[in-house]
Chain A
Amino acid sequence: MIRLALAYLADRPLTSALNVLLLAISVAMLVLLLQFSSQAEERFERDIAGIDLVVGAKGSPLQLILSSVFHVDSPTGNIPVESIDLLRRDPAVARVVPLALGDNFDGFRIVGTDAGFAGLYDLKLAEGRSFAAPMEAVLGADVARQTGAKLGQKFIGSHGLGDDPQGDQGHDHAPFTTVGILAPSGTVADRLILTSVESVWAVHGIGHDHDHDHDHDHKTGHDHAHGHDHDHHKHHAHDDHDHDHDHAAPSLASPAAPAPLQASGSGLEPEFTALLVTYRNASAAIRLPAMINRQTALQSAVPATETARLIELIGASLAGIKVFAWLLAATGGLAIFVALLAALRAREGDLALLRVMGASRAQVFGTMLLEGVITAAAGAVLGWLAAHGLMALAAARFATLADLGFSPFQFHSGEIALVAGVLGIGALAALIPAIRIYQLDPARVMARSL
């Protein structure tokens, strides 16, 4: 009966092909939407990792999260280095990881940080060692793969965060040396270049003295960075203070040895772009954000909240496309229904003949139903292949997608449900014609021809 159903489909190739195409387009759209949203959510979750709170300059909380956690937007500004003390002193805080952004190499962000960053993502070295001395850098797995950088090679960072055409001014005077390459982690770290905070400062002529008090007077408010985000000429307004820095960025290799940092005589003050905070206990979640936001220069943003908001924003746009795709699938079902109904009259004689020749009611019913299901299955398979093929093409064509961890061959359990749904549409579309065939009285039809 499958052969007969296939033969009937092949007998009207244009109609069958159009019906398959309609369903294939809808399935491809739905698979792409599913993959996009699920992979984006997975990626968000991986990148948030152990970050409970991000502290940065006042501005858009979403921008702060995008720039400091996902590394895809400009930072909201810079914050004074003293901010880290506020958090590290808090017993409810387990870990504070500083970030100093501002430069890129070949489009990959150079992130000044400390050993805590590796702890956030459980990063492992594939080659070499962690940064220790100034101007030493560890490359993320994708950075190393795409730039072809090897251990010991030097590179020069450029102003800007890699997505700014104006930021192409190189720091020729301060080259970095690659001392390590990270193993792939499937997180944002794969496409980052990690170095010490001091190295980032040094590139920009911001010196710091160990065991040296500094007393700076910040005169202007924070700045929403453009191009060169680490703008050290403008500072956040905060009270004058005079204290020892005991929170400098230790290297990946020596997390337990924080080195105090101080501004040297360059006139520029060292600053962080953001601080990534991990709580020790849940009580911090209630108290800390409010406490941070009371600081005139600081704002806190909860990655989980902002990501949920982002997903909600994206989801609202995707929902419209999803409705359209399901409408397309329904149209495909309707087209199958119309095609089968149109074929019904011509088919009656054939199927009545089959009944006379010995086919059961269930068999002729099944033949009709199979036509709908086979059409839907062909559409589903074609659409599914097209979606993954397009994803593979896109990943090959746009390196950014691969950089973001977008995998064309990752399968989602929802795809099975989706295919089942489309098969259901095919079966439903064929149901009424199949029922009419089931109710057919073969004797009456055949008697007309005897």
Chain B
Amino acid sequence: MGKAYAGRPVLDDVSFTLDAGERLLLLGPSGSGKSTLLNIICALARPDRGEVRLGDELLAAPSGAGRGDALRRAHIAIIFQGLRLVSALSVWGNLALAQRLQTGRSDPGAIAVLLERLGLGHRADARPHELSQGEAQRAAIARALVVRPQLLIADEPTSALDHANAKVVAELLDELAREAGASLLVATHDDRLTSHFPRQLRLDSGRLAA
């Protein structure tokens, strides 16, 4: 696919597949086009050329065709760089809201299990501003996974973390995606994560490097 802003190409001939359950690291410096690529994959932006498919379904296309919103709601979870937890809700409330938006109801059992799994059981009632950076990161991961996505996308999940915490988060993402059977796509400029991902793609000036 390709995408340009104001005539300046941001993505050029980018093409790749991600298999079910596969874990992929998308590396690239700032301005390489990572964010644009993730926007298109999440159906938040349209490509100028080419298309994105989730299984057999069209996710994003230049014409706007496809079931982007519905597919994203049902099958894709995103961990944003800024985490974007809803500040007015507790950790538990954030997870419950994600479930309700996806299925119309919440599953307290699944929330409790996941929070325990991520070491946040005792922080379920805490509000986002009461969490440490590491806790907030884990809460954002929990919110993404609680909806049992087919595709988990993480944007710079370790950018604000020290080496030890970055390692923990990378391992956790790997482990949880594996347990959930979800494909994992992590976009980062952080080379520390390369050892955790068997497959890596490098984006440079909008083009995939070999």
Contacts and interface: CB of A to CB of B under 8 A. Distances in A.
A442 B39 CA distance: 11
A356 B42 contact: yes
Interface residues of B, number: 25
Which secondary structure dominates chain A's binding surface? helix
Contacts of B74: 358
Nearest to A445: B44
A447 B98 contact: no
A447 B88 contact: no
A318 B78 CA distance: 59
Contacts of B42: 356, 450
Given A356-B42, A450-B155, A350 B102 contact: no
Interface string B69-86: 100111000101110101
Which of A7, A356, A357 gathers most chain B CB within 10 Å?
A357
Nearest to B39: A447
Interface in A15-35: none
A353 interface: yes
A261 B73 CA distance: 96
Nearest to A353: B84
Interface of B: 35, 38-39, 42, 44-45, 69, 72-74, 78, 80-82, 84, 86-89, 93, 97-98, 101-102, 155
A450 B35 contact: yes
B44 A442 contact: yes
Nearest to A3: B93
B78 A350 contact: no
Nearest to A358: B73
A17 to B, nearest CB: 16
A281 interface: no
B44 A350 contact: no
Given A3-B93, A443-B44, A443-B45, A449 B101 contact: no
Contacts of A447: 35, 39, 44-45
A375 to B, nearest CB: 15
Contacts of A442: 44
A4 B101 contact: no
A450 B88 contact: no
B88 A449 contact: no
B81 A359 contact: no
B102 A357 contact: yes
B32 to A, nearest CB: 13
Nearest to A6: B88
Given A357-B73, A450-B81, A450-B155, A4 B39 contact: no
Contacts of B84: 349-350, 353, 449
A449 B82 CA distance: 7
8 contacts: A4-B97, A350-B87, A353-B80, A353-B84, A356-B42, A357-B101, A358-B69, A447-B35
Interface in A302-329: none
A450 B87 contact: no
Given A356-B72, A358-B102, A446 B89 contact: no
Contacts of A449: 80-82, 84
A170 to B, nearest CB: 71
Which of A354, A358, A443, A449 gathers most chain B CB within 10 Å?
A358
Given A7-B88, A449-B84, A354 B45 contact: no
Given A7-B86, A350-B87, A357-B97, 9 more contacts: A7-B93, A350-B86, A353-B84, A354-B101, A357-B102, A446-B39, A446-B44, A449-B81, A449-B84
A357 B74 CA distance: 9
Contacts of B39: 443, 446-447, 450
A138 to B, nearest CB: 66
A8 interface: yes
Contacts of A358: 69, 72-74, 101-102
A241 to B, nearest CB: 88
Nearest to B97: A4
B200 to A, nearest CB: 20
Nearest to A442: B44
Q: Closest 9 CB pairs between A and B?
A: A358-B73, A443-B44, A11-B88, A7-B88, A358-B101, A450-B35, A449-B82, A8-B88, A357-B101
B88 A446 contact: no
